[in-house]
């Protein structure tokens, strides 16, 4: 069983939940991946059911060779993070998963209160490329080879991620 090679870092990672939650679920995801899109509401429901017992962490793993918009979507999420709006952008990207071209990224940014033109300029400049690459490489070193990939308390979870099975694996 693979282990998470880069531990969760409260100062670095995108985290929902309490730092001292007994369960930590890390997802390596791709905003254009249809399976990640299917997992998105499942993770939301699991979070709601487990409440303060779960800490959820999202890391970027854009599979750009098969998802041409995934790279820019991840960069856009990280630009939004710099502006304090990572989770708003994260959610909006999954809601609008079928429309992730640059024009759509700008519209999504405008919809969450960011300047879409500025966001696109920063994406094109590669402002957050190092961060996305760091996430990606930490996934590779942890044995991630597809998305979504989950880790529960630092150990790779290879079971089904349907809601009932994932909830049971999380002890819910």
Per residue in 55-85, pLDDT (tens digit) is 999 999 999 999 999 999 999 999 999 999 9
| CATH of 14-169 given 3.40.50.10330, 3.40.1410.10, 3.50.50.60, 3.40.30.10 | 3.40.30.10
Mean pLDDT of 3-8: 97
pLDDT of residue 172: 78
Q: Above 90 in pLDDT, residue 1?
A: no
- 148: tokens are 């979504």
Q: Rounded to two decimals, what is the model's pTM?
A: 0.97
Percent of the chain with pLDDT over 70: 99
Straight-line distance from the first to the last Cα atom of the chain, in angstroms, rounded to the nearest whole number: 22
147-165 tens-digit pLDDT = 999 999 999 999 999 999 9
> In 34-153, which residue ranges form alpha helices assigned H by DSSP?
34-50, 70-82, 86-95, 102-111, 116-124, 129-141
- 48: tokens are 């709601």
Mean pLDDT of 88-102: 97
Count, residues in the chain:
172
Query: Can you give the residue ranges of every domain in the chain?
Result: 14-169
Phi-psi region of 17 (alpha: psi -120 to 50; beta: other; left: phi over 0): left
CA distance 140 to 111: 33
Give burial (CB, 10 Å; 0-12/13-18/19+) of 145. exposed
Mean pLDDT of 30-49: 98
Mean pLDDT of 86-93: 98
């Amino acid at each position: 069983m693979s282990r998470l090679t880069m531990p969760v870092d409260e100062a670095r990672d995108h985290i929902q939940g309490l730092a001292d939650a007994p369960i930590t679920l890390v997802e390596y995801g791709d905003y254009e991946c249809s399976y990640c899109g299917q997992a998105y509401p499942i993770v939301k429901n699991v979070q709601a059911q487990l409440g303060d017992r779960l800490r959820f962490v999202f890391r970027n793993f854009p599979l750009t060779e098969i998802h041409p918009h995934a790279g820019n979507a991840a960069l856009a999420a990280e630009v939004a993070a710099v502006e304090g709006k990572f989770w708003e952008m994260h959610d909006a990207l999954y809601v609008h998963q079928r429309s992730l071209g640059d024009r759509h990224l700008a519209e999504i940014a405008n919809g969450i209160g960011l300047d879409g033109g500025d966001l696109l300029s920063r994406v094109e400049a590669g402002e957050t490329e190092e961060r996305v690459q760091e996430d990606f490489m930490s996934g590779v070193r942890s044995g991630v080879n597809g998305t979504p990939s989950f880790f529960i308390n630092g150990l790779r979870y290879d079971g089904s991620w349907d809601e009932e099975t994932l909830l049971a694996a999380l002890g819910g």
